[in-house]
Amino acid sequence: MTIARPRVENGGLILFLAFITVGLALVVSSFAGALLWAVLAALLFQPLFQRILARWPERRNTAAALTILIITVAVVIPALIVTSLVVEQAAGVYNQMRSGQINFASYFEQVHDALPLRLQRLIDKAGFGSFERAQAELSQAVGNSASMLASRALSIGANAAAFLLAFGVGLYVTFFLLRDGARIGPAIVRALPLEPTVSRRLADKFVAVVRATIKGSGVVALVQGALGAVTFWVVGLPAALLWGMLMAVAALLPAIGPAIIWGPVAIYLLATGAIWQAVVVIVSGVLVIGLADNILRPILVGRDTGIPDWLVLVTTLGGIDLVGLSGIVVGPLAGALFITGWQILTEQRLGRAADGDDPARTGD
């Protein structure tokens, strides 16, 4: 007969774990983003690590190091190059806006004047037909965006050392997560204070959402952004890479998508008489960029995460607002785990109710 552990000791252990967990979170909070992306990279590139490990079964360190090298060459370096080009084009657009070479209010006036008279009257009645008002609102919006862009650029420059440190920490942690992931993952699942079936189900949902978000939404968005940049370059629009990056960001949002970028561009081209350029943008947007999602997502994801599109939109926007770029993954992940947790609770309650109504259990 076993003696039950006193409740005071159990409560003390739980209290200690709560305090030390909060303390550890505060200690590593400066590297929270780097640690998050290290976990995501380890999950995403685990199959590649396993393939390399299959060739050298006794060399886990070598396999992990080679995987990190591949990640750096194939993902990190191209991302840094593209980012530097986008920042350069963004700085050029910002300078042109300050000098008056780019005037969004005048573009608005051109589009307004090219619309049919009936639509012009409707816009005027809504209060958006006044050039002075449009100029003021657009100038304020563009000015705020330009100021934010400039502040972000200065912040990146000022915090270059911190960025390099976080980047190094991320790669370092990724190495160990790749090498020991087969041991760390199951250990975390076993340590969760949940029933084993519930822990495994939540862990499977976590992996599925990460895979869907990065391999599905992330890769598809990059492909759509690249196709958009090529399209804008073909029709001769300036800063095509910058617009393509904006299209990639918009592609992460369901129900909005890249059409929010190429649609207004096509309207402007039509309004200014650039007919063939507008036709190219529309055809590419509908037949090439639009279909890329339908073709690539089933191949990359392979299974549904069970999250409604409206919840993906809200959680993605909320996640970006809360934690920045990492919110692209954190937001949908929180939504998916929320739905899964309530589904498990509902199933357990219904199961207990069914057991209670079973005549065989009540002795009838």
Q: Where are the domains of the chain?
A: 31-191, 194-352
Residue 109: CB atoms within 10 Å: 16
Q: Whole-model pTM?
A: 0.67
In 3D, which of 297, 283, 285, 292 has the Cα closest to residue 223? 292
Distance CA 254, CA 256 (A): 5
Distance CA 313, CA 256 (A): 9
Which helix H or strand E contains 243, and what residues bound it? helix 240-251
CB 68 within 8 A of CB 174: yes
Distance CA 241, CA 175 (A): 32
DSSP one-letter string for 313-355: HHHHHHHHHHHGGGHHHHHHHHHHHHHHHHHHHHHHHHHHHHH
pLDDT digits (tens, 9 = 90+) for 21-73: 889 888 888 888 888 888 888 888 888 898 998 888 888 899 999 999 998 88
Handedness of CA 335, 43, 208, 22 (dihedral sign): negative
User: What is the chain's Cα-based Rg?
Assistant: 26
Which of the pair, 121 or 190, is modelled with greater confidence? Answer: 190
CB 326 within 8 A of CB 36: yes
Report the pLDDT value the prediction gives residue 364, as an integer from 0 to 100.
47
pLDDT digits (tens, 9 = 90+) for 314-358: 888 888 788 777 787 888 888 888 888 888 888 888 876 666 555
Residue 110 has pLDDT above 70, yes or no: no
In 3D, which of 111, 151, 156, 153 has the Cα closest to residue 134? 111
Residue 281: CB atoms within 10 Å: 27
Report the pLDDT value the prediction gives residue 1, as an integer from 0 to 100.
45
Distance CA 122, CA 152 (A): 38
Lowest mean pLDDT among 90-94, 139-143, 188-192, 252-256: 139-143
Lowest mean pLDDT among 198-202, 222-226, 332-336, 355-359: 355-359
Lowest mean pLDDT among 56-60, 156-160, 214-218, 236-240: 156-160
Question: Residue 77 corresponds to which tokens in the numbers above?
Answer: 């370096």
Handedness of CA 262, 267, 272, 275 (dihedral sign): positive
Report the pLDDT value the prediction gives residue 69, as an integer from 0 to 100.
92
Lowest mean pLDDT among 193-197, 212-216, 297-301: 297-301
